[in-house]
Structure 1
Amino acid sequence: MPVVSSKGRAMPESPIRKLVPFAEKAIKEGKHIYRLNIGQPDIKTPIAAIEAVRNSKLEILAYSHSAGFLSLREKLVTYYTKHDIAVSSKDILVTTGGSEALLFTMGSITDPGDEIIVPEPFYANYYSFSTQSTVNVVPVISRIENNFALPAITEFEKRITSKTKAILICNPGNPTGYLYTKKEIQQLAILAKQYDLFLISDEVYREFVYDGSKHYSILQEKGLDEHAIVVDSVSKRYSMCGARVGCIVTKNKNVMQTAMKFAQARLSPPTLAQIASEAALSAPESYYRDTIAKYKIRRDTLVAELKKIPGVKVAMPKGAFYCIAELPVNNAEHFTEWLLDTFHVDNETVMLAPACGFYSSPNTGINQVRIAYVLHQKDLKKAVHILKSALEKYKDR
């Protein structure tokens, strides 16, 4: 019998989506699920994006330029300028989501067996993308006790080998919600220059920062032009996850020329989604303000309610719309399955993402979960009430 590849066998399951069969079973049983497992915003997409597609006069849905519409890239230049990031349209390559941007980046800068250092817990698909690219993830563990701040720079330095090609961060972080400070970014920049590494920053949650904090992009750091690669996306910023439009932003011409080969091989990013994305970039500042205000209230509500549960430890996120909570259970993966398969309060239950899937280090994060605060306050309170009841019941099993 033909067998699948070793690469295919090594591909990890999504910790976010692997519980779907349990959820489907719960729905068939008539249960209502509060979905806190996935970062799907309930915020409305800017109406201009929807209208741009609806009112399109296209008669042929043709290929676009492999780098994406020039008009979209120029609009992105204007957007980045507002964030004190100086780039040109030649520094931007439009991709089919931030996922493809990461794949193109890994394909452009690494060879099989090379290494990328990543603070963990990290976005689970970093592990998937590295597996596809036959690259090894080298983790540096950050800890809930200090809110998942950047580990000591010496911890990064001791992991650098002749195979190390890059350091990859998510800022603000998924799954932790941690926002790296300017000082932390500068420490990483010094290391990247000292060891001639790429510094890749996934900045898809750039707008979502709280408590008066400010996001500092690696593209704002002086002297880092040859090292800095930013991965970006419209998915979260404009609640357009289904559009699948992202981009690579870098001033390194060799990287951009190489990534372009990958872009040409996949022909072009989606035409209608680019039309929608270009229109979304004209969203008024009030769209961002209102969205950020909603998420801050939700964050405050969720964290306050979680802290009321005995034995639960939660890190306070400074950005994005996720947090990691440590639960008084031995195995969060089993607990989250049990929540869907067995437990309910008045026929309602909660879906969470086991955090072990956001770590590559064995036996790490096994009693933690990632929670996406993408529901209204009332629903968040109800979900945490159900979680509290579940923990009490699970303890007495």
Structure 2
Amino acid sequence: MPQVSQKGRQMPESPIRKLVPFAEAAKKKGHKVYHLNIGQPDIKTPEVALKAVKDNHIEILEYSHSAGFESYRNKLSQYYTNQGLPVNTEDIIITTGGSEALLFALGSTMDSGDEIIIPEPFYANYNGFSVASGVKVVPVISTIDEGFALPPVADFEKLITPKTKAILICNPGNPTGYLYTKEEIQQLADLVKKHDLFLIADEVYREFTYDGDKHYSVMNVPGLEQYAIMIDSVSKRYSMCGARIGCIVSKNKEVMATAMKFAQARLSPPTIAQIASEAALDTPQSYFDEVIHEYKDRRDTLISELNKIQGVKVATPKGAFYCIAKLPVESADKFAQWLLENFDLNGETVMVAPAAGFYSSPNVGLDEIRIAYVLKKEDLVRSVQILKEALLQYNK
């Protein structure tokens, strides 16, 4: 009998989606499930983006340019310039989501067996993308006690080998919500220049920052032009996860020429979704002001409620819309499944993402969960009430 590939066997399951069958079973029992497990915003997609698709009269749904519409890239360049990032049209390739941009970045900078250093916990799919690319993830652990701040640069430096090709960060972070300071980004910039590495920054949550803190991009660092690769996406910024439009950005000509070969091999990014994404760039600032205000309120509500539960520890996120909570359980995996299979509070339960899947180090984060605060405040309060009661029953 034919066998699947070793690479396929090593491909990790999504910690976010693997509990879906249990959630579906809970719903079939008539239970309401509050989804704290996935970063699908409930914020409305900007009307200007939806209108561009509704009002379009395309007669032939053609391929686009492999790098994406030139009109979109021009407009995107202007958007970045307005954000204070010196990005030109030729520095951008449009991709099928930020996911494809990451795959292009790995494929353009690494060979099979090469190593990439990533502060963990990290976006779970970095594991999957690395396995698919034949790249070894070398984790450097950040901790809840330090609020998931950047580990000391010395911790990175001792992990660098001749096989190391890049450092990858998510800023602000998924799953931690940590926002790297200008000083931390500069420390990483100095390190990659010293060791001739790439610094890949996933910046899809750039707009989502709180408490007056500012996002500092790798594209802002003078002298880092040949080392920096930025990953971006419309998914969270405009609540357009289903559009599957992102981009890879770099001033390194050789990197972009190489990424273009991968772009040509997959032909082109989605045409209709590019129309929506280009129009989304006309979204008024008032939209973002309202969204950020709403998420800050949700964050404050969630953290306040979680802090009321005895034995729960949580780091206050500075950006994005996630937090990591440490629970008084041995296995968050088993607890998350139990919540869906065996528990309800007046017909309601919650779905969370066990955080062990956001680490590549074995046996780390076993008692942690990731919560996405993408629900309205009253639903978050109710969800934490359910979580509190569930922990009491579970630990009996």
The bucket for the TM-score relative to the shorter chain is over 0.9
Counterparts of 1:83 and 1:202, CA distance in 2 = 16
SS in 2 for 1:13: coil
Pair 1:371 & 2:363 matched: no
1:67 aligned partner, one-letter code: A
Task: Within 5 Å, give how 1:16-31 maps onto structure 2.
Answer: 16-31=16-31
SS at match of 1:85: coil
Deviation at 1:378, TM superposition (A): 0.3
Structure 2 counterparts to residues 123-138 of structure 1, below 5 A: 123-138=123-138
Cα distance, 1:117 vs structure 2: 0.2
Q: Give the SS at the match of 1:166.
A: strand
Amino acid in the other structure paired with 2:132: Q
Note the aligned Cα RMSD (angstroms): 0.3
* 1:124-163 paired onto structure 2 within 5 Å: 124-163=124-163
Displacement of 1:192: 0.5
How far the C-alpha of 1:216 sits from its partner, in A, is: 0.2
TM-score normalised by length of structure 1? 1.00
Give the Å deviation of 1:43: 0.3
Q: Does 1:295 align with 2:295?
A: yes
Q: Which residue of 2 aligns with 1:75?
A: 75
Letter of the structure 2 residue corresponding to residue 209 of structure 1: T
The letter of the residue matching 2:78 is: T
Percent of paired sites with the same residue: 68
Is structure 2 residue 276 aligned with structure 1 residue 276? yes
State the 1:82 CA deviation: 1.5
Deviation sequence 1:281-316 (CA, Å, 0-9, x none):
110000111000000000000000000000000000
Amino acid at match of 2:277: S
Instruction: Return the alpha-carbon distance in structure 2 between the equivalents of residues 55 and 268 of structure 1.
Output: 23
Shift of 1:87: 1.2
Deviation of 1:112 after TM superposition, in Å, equals 0.3
Q: TM-score, normalised by structure 2?
A: 1.00
Aligned residue for 1:174? 174
**CA distance, structure 2, for counterparts of residue 3 and residue 21 of structure 1:** 26
* Structure 1 residues 225-240: aligned runs within 5 Å: 225-240=225-240
Using the TM superposition, give the Cα deviation of residue 78 of structure 1 relative to its aligned residue in structure 2, in angstroms.
1.1
Q: What amino acid is the match of 1:210?
A: Y
Q: Distance in 2 between matches of 1:78 and 1:260?
A: 21
| Structure 2 counterpart of 1:289, one-letter code | D
Residue aligning to 1:385: 385
Deviation sequence 1:207-254 (CA, Å, 0-9, x none) = 000000000000000000100000000000000000000000000000
In 1, the alpha carbon distance for the partners of 2:109 and 2:146 equals: 32
* Count of residue pairs the alignment pairs up: 396
Could you give the per-residue CA deviations for residues 139-179 of structure 1, whole angstroms, max 9, x where no partner exists? Answer: 00000001000000000000000000000000000000000
1:344 matches 2:344: yes
Q: Matched residues in 2 for 1:114 and 1:98: separation? A: 22
Matches within 5 A, 1:244-323: 244-323=244-323
Residues of 2 paired with 1:72 and 1:18: CA distance?
Answer: 36
- Which stretches of structure 1, 4 residues or more, deviate above 2 A after TM superposition? none
Q: What is the distance in 2 between the residues matched to 1:200 and 1:233?
A: 14
Cα distance in 2, alignment partners of residues 341 and 70 from structure 1: 50
The 2-side partners of 1:19 and 1:121 are apart by 19
Tell me, what secondary structure is at the counterpart of 2:272?
Answer: helix
Give 1:57 shift. 1.6
Partner of 2:192 in structure 1? 192
Q: Distance in 2 between matches of 1:290 and 1:116?
A: 37
